Amino acid sequence: MAANISDVDVVLEENVVDRPFCSHGPTSLFVRYTEDGNSQQFYACSAFRDRKACNFFQRKDEKFSESKRMARENIKDEADQAYKKLKKRCHKLRKLKAKARVFCVTCGQFILPEEKDEHSQHETKSSIDDDTIKKPSRLFKPLDNNKTYAQYLFSESTIQFTIDVLKKMEISKVLCVGAPRIHEAIQSDRIKHSKLESLLLDLDYRYQQIYPPEKFCRYNMFNHYFFSDTTSETVFTNFLIESDDKRIAIVTDPPFGGLVQVLASTFKKITATWKKQRDTIEDKELPVLWFFPYFMEKRIVDCLPQYSMLDYKVDYDNHALFRGDVKKHGSPVRIFTNVSPSQIELPSSEGYWYCSECKRYSGPENVHCQMCDSCTSKDGRTYSHCFKCERCVKPSKVHCDKCGICQLQDHKCGQIKGKGCHICGNLSHKRKDCPNKGKPIKRKNFKQDGRPVKKKKFSK
């Protein structure tokens, strides 16, 4: 998904029906701002920000010839045909015995007996038994490019913690929007007579080779689009039907480059569908566990005010920066949820403790501040209270009387970088609310109090 870079915004109000299609479903409408104050709206792939992965680009006001228009309309039909072809292929593969099963790691697919010669120079795995198939995330090569799928896989400790939380919440059905390792853990655990059921919604087509249609739907979370015909959407809708003994929750781990407002819009759509399936008129929220970096907290809470961030540090197997045993202050990934933090117990064996004043579990480094009346740490370090700023700050910052706030020791006084409006530079508003949008204007630097920074005049 296109990252929220400085000169591009996404337009959520656009009707999906009117959008052109790429091979990943309905495109998203973006607006790009230029330094002269002008803007240009265009359609691009909702799922991929790397043009090498999907090169679709169309200006909103662009006019096409009839032949090009028809070619664009055929994209959806081609995707549907490809799905049906893969479905037939998977049906053949499931009939093969373990000794005959060969998986091509290079291509990410199982090989039919008559296809072996085509993959003779590729990395392959033979004699794939049933136990291996039950853990496909260990069979597949992770698609861990940040610009595309960004598949970073949960560690065993994170998987077990998540499953335990779901069971304590008395959840019976888990909708995995991404999070393939949670899905496979639930599916494997079902053999041990677990009450948990799960449905995986994921863009990675490789899972169609493993799971039947009632357990996997190929899905684009950035436009709430189900691939294939109406089958997948029907499976999804039926899964959301809830009864007194079948409570549902969402577990999701979107790519960290994804636009928060787009993801929030998707989760609202899923919740709206869930509410339609409910037999009662009781106003409840669908429980969500959203795995995302702690520094995205403000964006998530701005879009979903009922969400809060847990202190639990999420570990991964295949990402050096997100592994607790590698990074000094632990993984930067947290869990955002609309469930009351007091209801989610964090493991005391890892140093987490219950703060009776905050009514939530805090990390071992997170000391309760009596002045702020909160456990204030976010990044795995113990914050210290600044009486001049009247809030807690990171230990790497000191108060600067000239700037009037706490700053890094080597900062440049008088300027606040990375904040405020991208169009005019003012700290009092963001780009979407800028009164100068669409006007030619030169961006200025502003002080914390909102006054522009004056340039020094040098005598000749």
Both 166 and 273 in a single domain? Answer: yes
Structure confidence at residue 52 (pLDDT): 82
Q: Is residue 81 a part of any domain in this protein?
A: no
Structure confidence at residue 460 (pLDDT): 45
- CA dihedral of 169, 175, 179, 182, whole degrees rounded to 10: 50
Q: What is the pLDDT of residues 134-173, one digit of tens each?
A: 888 888 887 755 455 666 789 999 999 999 999 999 999 9
Structure confidence at residue 2 (pLDDT): 38
Question: By the 8 A CB rule, do 72 and 20 touch?
Answer: yes
Both 203 and 241 in a single domain? Answer: yes
Both 237 and 317 in a single domain? Answer: yes
Q: Is residue 382 a part of any domain in this protein?
A: no
- CA dihedral of 439, 443, 444, 449, whole degrees rounded to 10: 70
Q: Domain holding 337: CATH number?
A: 3.40.50.150
Structure confidence at residue 1 (pLDDT): 44
Both 112 and 257 in a single domain? Answer: no
Q: Domains in the chain: how many in total?
A: 4
| CA atoms lying within 13 Å on the CB side of residue 363 | 22
Q: What is the pLDDT of residues 408-422, one digit of tens each?
A: 988 888 765 555 676
Q: Which domain holds residue 23?
A: 8-63
Q: What is the pLDDT of residues 228-277, one digit of tens each?
A: 767 899 999 999 987 767 899 999 999 988 899 999 999 999 999 999 88
Structure confidence at residue 144 (pLDDT): 58
Alpha helices in 278-386 (DSSP H): 297-303
What average pLDDT does the segment 374-386 reach? 95
Higher-confidence residue: 370 or 209?
370
Most confident of 77-91, 191-205, 228-242, 373-387: 373-387
Amino acid in the structure at residue 337 = T
Q: What is the pTM of this model?
A: 0.86
Q: Is residue 404 a part of any domain in this protein?
A: no
Q: What is the pLDDT of residues 169-188, one digit of tens each?
A: 999 999 999 999 999 999 98
Structure confidence at residue 3 (pLDDT): 41
